Chains A and B, each alone.
Chain A
Amino acid sequence: MSLLTFNVNGRAHSLEVDPATPLLYVLSDDLELRGPKFGCGLGQCGSCTVLVKGQAVRSCVTTAGSVAGAQITTLEGLGTIDKPHPIQQAFIDEQAMQCGFCVNGVIMTAKAFLDRNPKAGGAQIRQAMSGVLCRCAAHGRMLRAITRYAKGVKA
């Protein structure tokens, strides 16, 4: 166990953790955040995605020790129920989900991509989302929501 500091959504948390612990467990159990989700534990579905220094990473296969001290942003860090981030608002506007469990990974992956590639078109967005899984098959609405947000970014 080591005393590590995690900078999550603009707040610093010092925690005694085994540095080998996947970041996801620190976020969802020690910090009780509800955004990142355990989907597969293998980095295959995207549900656990968070931003580390603006880059989308899969927190289920990222050790806590490797990101201690780095700026981490989770879904909660984008916006709130009352003041959603524009990409969150786009998902509300398109009613872009069924169970919503995968939405964390969809939004965080898309946001990280569009932050770096604000002019990306549909094919590039699809390519960026190719490793993200939704099992309710709300794919069409989700891609529409991402496109809606991307248009706002460009405007």
Chain B
Amino acid sequence: MKRRSFLKHSGALVVGVGAARVLVRFGVDPGLVQAQRLDGAGSNQLDAWIAIGADGNVTAYTGKCELGHGLYTAQTQLVAEELGVPFGRVKLVQCDTALTPDQGTTSGAQSHPTNFNTGNLALAGATAREALLQRAAMRLGVPVDQLAAVDGVISVKADPSKKVSYGDLVGGRPFGLALNPAARRKHPREWKVLGTPVPRVEIPAIVAGQFEYVHNVRVPGMLHGRVVRPPAVGATVVNVDESSVSGLPGLVRVVVKKNFVGVVAEKPWQAIQAAGTLKVSWTSGAGLPSHRDFHDVLRRQKPTRDTFLVNSKDVDEKFTAAAKVVKATYLFPYQMHGSIGTACAVADVRDGNATIWSATQAVFPLKTSAAMLLGLQPANVHVIFKMGPGCYGCNGADPVSYDAALLSQAVGRPVRVQLTRKDEMAWENYGFAFVIDERVALTADGTIAAWDHEAWSPTMGGRPGANNPGNVVTGYLAGFEPAAFTPRSPAPDPAAFANNSNGVPSYVSGCVSGRCGGTGNIASQRVLTHNVQSPFFTGPLRSPERLQNTFAHESFMDEIAAAVKSDPVEYRLRHLSDPRLMEVVRSAAKGAGWQTRPSPRPGIRRTGVASGRGISCVLYEGDNGYCAMVAEVEVNQETGRVTVARMVIANDCGPISNPDGLRNQLEGGALQGLSRALLEEVVWDDQKVTSVDWRTYRPLYLGADLPTIETVLIHQPDARATGAGETAVTVAAGAIANAIFDATGARVRQAPFTPERVKAALDSRT
């Protein structure tokens, strides 16, 4: 539905959406702007964000979508709060390229920084409220400061019988105003709707089986498609024998575009049978490096793209002068998004136009990248977001949108595609594998004098963005290359401090070009990263790079503290300078009843079940949310099996929009982080990925031994809103590894901490 008819239908006013695609980010601090690299143009026009109907009901438009993290509800709270209307009178329209502002990708824990500070949706709410107050002042002949806006009615404070409703002031007509950078947002201390645990809007429909996920989209004349992916990485089509499926019931078409192969049929089961029957001959694959040696391959691989995040250029001399040097290497595997439902999309491509119903996190970029794939004008592509299963980054939602679009274009009718479990798992954009070398120089009193970090990580493709459909499997098979890998060695000096990847540990000062953006006090610092080409597609799996780097930094900080026989909390605080990071560390420790002493715990017996505790912390992305976690574990020293008994999380994301939504994110992040720390690893043979179902890639099931999870929410009414969706997941692996060490004296440096790896670490204790 076009916005015009939608608005007419919804009884709200008719507006043209943001003619001026101006970058609007009033008052957002530079760090956040830098992190907001995937943000869209937004709109500086109030009517692009908020409409008030003649009945006084509010329709708001956002380009940041609900992904299961409660954002739809929180954004509805935001609009209700700023406008002073009841929550139930706000209808939020999200992520539709024909209706809502282009806010790029919903990712990177950037939705709160973007829409809940002083720009975009928050500013639209504030601008609308002030405009309504000014109009009421004119209408009632009373200055604005003598008016009160409550429940969509503005009245004279001294004489409440003098009043006018929002519907009377503007209902059914556009505001015709630009966003006002001076409009004042309500201070968190004034909040009545924000800051309260409003229940999620979608949940009643979900539990009743009425909610429309993208999988439930049905359009008239819709057919069902199925893709046939190559049997090996790098295999290409030799021949597609269409006669092998001729006469199958319901088959509409076999579709081949370079190495993209699919079938379209009247019904899903017919498409499945046709895809299974179709004879396709493929070349053999390109061959894959050995899984067993993969981390060594990474370290040796050329060419590389090298980057210094910090380099004080005095590190080597500090090591020469060191009283003691500590070093260690940490390994992290490729991991999957592995969404609970396989990816699904519906596309209707005909007559030079395309409509795509998609669960992609990148609704607006998909409009352009799908246009490239289909050979259409972007203006003729309409992407409508429909929620899918939890995505956590870049799962199969983008490729399946392309799958549906290519198949629909071939048959000229709407086509729905849902991937098989194997097709999704074998070809998704995996979270990055990592090799991380950490090294510190210590002074005689056990203080860290210099920190040296060097890391290797493979990359290929990623989010398609606006113009790289080859960044995901379908676009690649259809003939587009992934974004070019551009080697660069040696690394240039850093131009400014940026810690979006959390490659820089929390304990260094982060001084670059005279500005210090770090959270610690170690002045001598060097962080050098090497990207290499990946044999598999990679993508921004929840807390990309940040989780892997934080696992290494926080494990290593623990190793250093143990080397100098310091308490892990005290030793962290000794090297931190950021008071908010220090506060989450103290709060998590206090919440957990932390006993001050060095790790490992005294009196370890080498048999039986041992218990211990560990801590880990992060300032996510260097500027986007503080978190610390204490994990308590039990280690079966005979089997190497680790059970996490308790997790205590302290989180500071500025002012808290919805405390229950925040708790849900922290609890889920902690447990997902536990699953990634203990269980999850992509494996492959010499030709193909062999993690293709829940037996060969086994995450945490509902029946597992689960920790109790406690959250300490630190509300900061005077601070800016930051992200909170990726903080807890980032710190879990480090906290668990440190607790294993505390319990047993054995250090695990390779994730996941499988019983075999833990047993090997236990057996190597001296």
Contact = CB atoms under 8 A, between A and B. Distances in A.
A150 interface: no
A57 interface: no
Contact of A139 (B207, B215, B218, B702): B702
Contact of B702 (A37, A88, A126): A126
A40 B694 CA distance: 8
B664 A102 contact: no
A92 B675 contact: no
Given A37-B215, A135-B340, A100 B701 contact: no
Nearest to B69: A98
Interface string A76-95: 10111100100010011001
Contacts of B209: 33-35, 74-76, 104
Contact of A130 (B215, B390, B703): B703
Interface residues of A, number: 61
Contacts of B420: 41
A80 B205 CA distance: 8
Contacts of B388: 99, 101
Interface in B682-712: 693-695, 699-704, 706, 708-709
Interface in B56-76: 67-70
A137 B269 CA distance: 31
Contacts of B584: none
Given A40-B342, A42-B693, A101-B340, A92 B207 contact: yes
B279 to A, nearest CB: 21
Interface stretch (B41-49, B484-492, B666-674): B666-674
A129 interface: yes
Interface stretch (B21-29, B167-175, B196-204, B508-516): B196-204
B493 interface: no
Contact of B208 (A20, A75, A143): A75
B316 to A, nearest CB: 43
A98 B390 contact: yes
A102 B200 contact: no
Nearest to A79: B208
B204 A81 contact: yes
A76 B269 contact: no
Contact of A38 (B342, B672, B701): B342
Given A34-B209, A80-B208, A137-B672, A22 B269 contact: yes
Contacts of B641: none
Contacts of B212: 34
Contacts of B704: 130, 139
Contacts of B200: 95
Contacts of B360: none
A91 B207 contact: yes
A68 interface: no
A37 B212 CA distance: 11
Nearest to A37: B341
Chain B interface mostly: loop
B382 to A, nearest CB: 23
B204 A127 contact: no
Interface string B520-563: 00000000000000000000000000000000000000000000
A51 interface: no
A29 B268 CA distance: 8
Nearest to A48: B341
A99 B671 contact: no
B387 interface: yes
B71 to A, nearest CB: 11
Contacts of A131: 701, 703
A24 to B, nearest CB: 9
B703 A129 contact: yes
Given A34-B209, A81-B208, A104-B209, A132 B703 contact: yes
A39 interface: yes
B421 A98 contact: no
B97 interface: no
B418 interface: yes
Interface string B396-424: 00000000000000000000001011000
A33 B211 CA distance: 10
A135 B215 contact: no
B660 interface: yes
A133 interface: yes
A127 B390 contact: no
B206 interface: yes
B208 A38 contact: no
A140 B208 contact: no
Given A34-B213, A40-B342, A80-B208, A98 B668 contact: yes
B225 to A, nearest CB: 13
A114 to B, nearest CB: 14
B566 interface: no
A112 interface: no
B284 interface: no
A134 B203 contact: no
Given A39-B341, A100-B211, A143 B702 contact: yes
Contacts of B208: 75-76, 78-81, 84, 88
Most chain B Cβ neighbours within 10 Å, of A92, A138, A139, A143: A139
Contacts of B660: 95
B340 A134 contact: yes
A56 interface: no
Interface string A93-136: 00101111111101100000000000000000011111111111
Interface of B: 67-70, 199-200, 202-213, 215-216, 218, 224, 249, 267-269, 338-342, 344, 387-390, 392, 418, 420-421, 660, 664-665, 667-672, 674-675, 693-695, 699-704, 706, 708-709
Which 6 residue pairs of A and B lie closest in terms of their CB atoms, listed nearest first?
Answer: A130-B703, A35-B209, A99-B68, A137-B671, A75-B209, A99-B390
18 contacts: A34-B213, A37-B213, A47-B341, A84-B204, A95-B203, A98-B390, A99-B389, A100-B68, A100-B202, A101-B339, A129-B701, A134-B340, A134-B702, A135-B389, A136-B68, A137-B668, A137-B672, A137-B674
